[in-house]
Amino acid sequence: MVDMKNTAAFFDIDGTIFRNSLMIEHFIKLINFEVIDPEIWYTKVKKVYDEWEKRHGDFEQYLETLAGVYLENLKGVNKLYIEFIADHVINVNGDMVYKYSRNQIEWHKKQGHKVFFISGSPDFLVSKMAEKYGATEFRGTLYLVDEDNKFTGEIVKMWDSESKKRVIKELIKKYDVDLENSYAYGDTTGDLSMLRMMGNPIAINPNRLLLESIREDKKLSERAIIIVERKDVIYKLDPNVEVL
C-alpha cells in the first residue's frame, strides 16, 4: 500500500498553473503604481512583446527581456512596497489559472499528498500563490535585499532545470518523498528535471522544445502524459503526437 504522506506533487506555476507569467502581471502593476516609468515599456520591451504577440518571436525571449528590465528597476526599491503590489496581483489575477491544474491541486490535497510550487517567478509572488492554493512549501527565484530591505539587483535564479533539481532534492530528503508514486507538472524544459524524477510526469500545454525533449527520452515518454487545455476543452495527447 502506498503511503500517501510520502506522495508529493511538484508544480511549476507560470504556464502550468497560471495562464500567464506572475512577473509579467507584476510588471504591469508596477507601471500602474508608478514604480516603473511607462516609457520603459515602449523603449525596452514592446518590440519583443509585439513579435511574440504576432507569433513571429519567441515567448522565452520576450520573458528574458522583460526579466532584465524588471530586475533593473527593482534595484533600490523597498521590498515591503513591492510585496504590497504583489498582494494586489494575486488578489486581482490569482484565479487566472488552468482548470485542469486547479482541479489537480485540489485532488492531490484531498488525497493527502504534499503539494510543492517550484517556480522561476520572484519568491515574493510565488509565496502568495502558494498561500492562496494551500501548497505545502514553495521555492521561487530569490530577489536579494540589503540591510535596509531594499533590492540589490541580485538574484538566485530558479527558472532553469538544474536549479529546480537542486531544491527538489532538498524537499525529497526533507519529506522522504516516494518518487515512484509522486507527480510533476510543467510546461517548459526548465521543468525537465522534475518531470524525469517523478513516476507520474505531466506536461501541461508544453512548448515545442519540451515536447521534443520528452519524445527523445524513451523512459520519460513511456510515463509522460501530455495535457492541452484550450477554451473549455481539456485534451490528453500521446507524447508522440505529430507537431506541425
Mean pLDDT of 5-21: 93
Residue 39's CB is within 10 A of a number of other CB atoms, namely 9
pTM of the predicted model, to two decimals? 0.92
d(CA 188, CA 238): 17
* Tens-digit pLDDT profile for residues 173-197: 999 999 999 999 999 999 999 999 9
d(CA 77, CA 84): 12
Q: Is the pLDDT of residue 198 over 90?
A: yes
Using pLDDT thresholds of 50, 70 and 90, give the confidence band for residue 1: very low
Mean pLDDT of 224-239: 92
* Tens-digit pLDDT profile for residues 68-120: 999 999 999 999 999 999 999 999 999 999 999 999 999 999 999 999 999 98
φ and ψ at residue 157, rounded to 5 degrees: -70, 155
3-state secondary structure (DSSP) of residue 143: strand
d(CA 63, CA 75): 19
Q: What per-residue confidence (pLDDT) applies to 213?
A: 94
